[in-house]
Amino acid sequence: MPSALITGATAGIGAAFARRLAADGFSLVLVARDEERLTAAAESLRLRYGVESEVLAADLATDEGLERVEARLRQGIDLLVNNAGFGHPGSFLDVSVPDELRMLKVHCEAVLRLTMAALPGMRKRNRGAVINVASVAAFFNRGTYSASKAWVVNYSESTAAELVGTRVRVMALCPGFVRTEFHERASIDASAIPGFLWLSADDVVDESMRDLALGKRVSVPDLRYKVIVGVGRLVPRGLAARVSQRLGRR
């Protein structure tokens, strides 16, 4: 039975990955900060799909939490989904430096360390995959959040290039606006976002799994966002940044 470890597994895209992979017959390791919520998620998956899920409570903004997950990955895993992440409300210039550093710890350092913990075993077995959840924001300018996600895309593509000739794959997943708890938990007003731009987490995961099977290094789910990213690369960066700021939050 193949195995998968998912960070940020209790809600949104992480929970959608858990459902999809459970349905596909994976054994799961669910990682998040809230052990009670993790246990409830594991029980729900057991009842619905008949799979047993390992619960691993860890705060990826701490070295202790990262070390716990690194140790589990070194025991062997077939698919790693680096999904944990968060946003800040308002202008990034109004966010404290410690909060910005915490974001970089979770979005960048955790992705690096967990990927590097998983890859040796995958390379030894010559199979496995890593999906690093980034964002369409990676292709636009919106403070530390978009900068950190741009790093995830670049790092994923660079790592994938290093693995050419093996059966190990690394892919960056870049969704747009997804109906999850993300904006609410970050106290971000999402009311200005047009309804047609919202995606479902399950659709995002389904398309990402198709793109992984196709060997893509970057997955941008949904034609709407493929067009947005394409246009964003053509217009002046200053204009793209202003539109992104206006659309993303009031």
Please provide the DSSP assignment of the chain as one string: --EEEEESTTSHHHHHHHHHHHHTT-EEEEEES-HHHHHHHHHHHHHHH---EEEEE--TTSHHHHHHHHHHHHT--SEEEE------SS-GGGS-HHHHHHHHIIIIIHHHHHHHHHHHHHHHHT-EEEEEE--GGGGS--HHHHHHHHHHHHHHHHHHHHTTTSSEEEEEE---SBSSSHHHHTT---TTS-GGG-B-HHHHHHHHHHHHHTT-SEE--SHHHHHHHHHHTTS-HHHHHHHHHHHH--
Catalytically annotated residues: 145
Q: Hey, where are the domains in the chain?
A: 3-248
Q: What is the pLDDT of residues 204-228, one digit of tens each?
A: 999 999 999 999 999 999 899 999 8
Q: What is the pLDDT of residues 113-138, one digit of tens each?
A: 999 999 999 999 999 999 999 999 99
- Which homologous superfamily is 3-248 in? NAD(P)-binding Rossmann-like Domain (3.40.50.720)
Q: Is the pLDDT higher at 122 or at 246?
A: 122
> In whole numbers, what is the pLDDT of the chain averaged over residues?
89
- Predicted local distance difference test score (pLDDT) of residue 88: 80
Task: Give dist(CA 36, CA 165) in Å, integer.
Answer: 42
Question: CA dihedral defined by 241, 209, 58, 158, rounded to 10 degrees?
Answer: -60
- At residue 84 the predicted structure's pLDDT band, cuts being 50, 70 and 90, is very high
- Predicted local distance difference test score (pLDDT) of residue 230: 87
Q: HSE of 69 in the Cβ direction (CA atoms, 13 Å)? A: 35
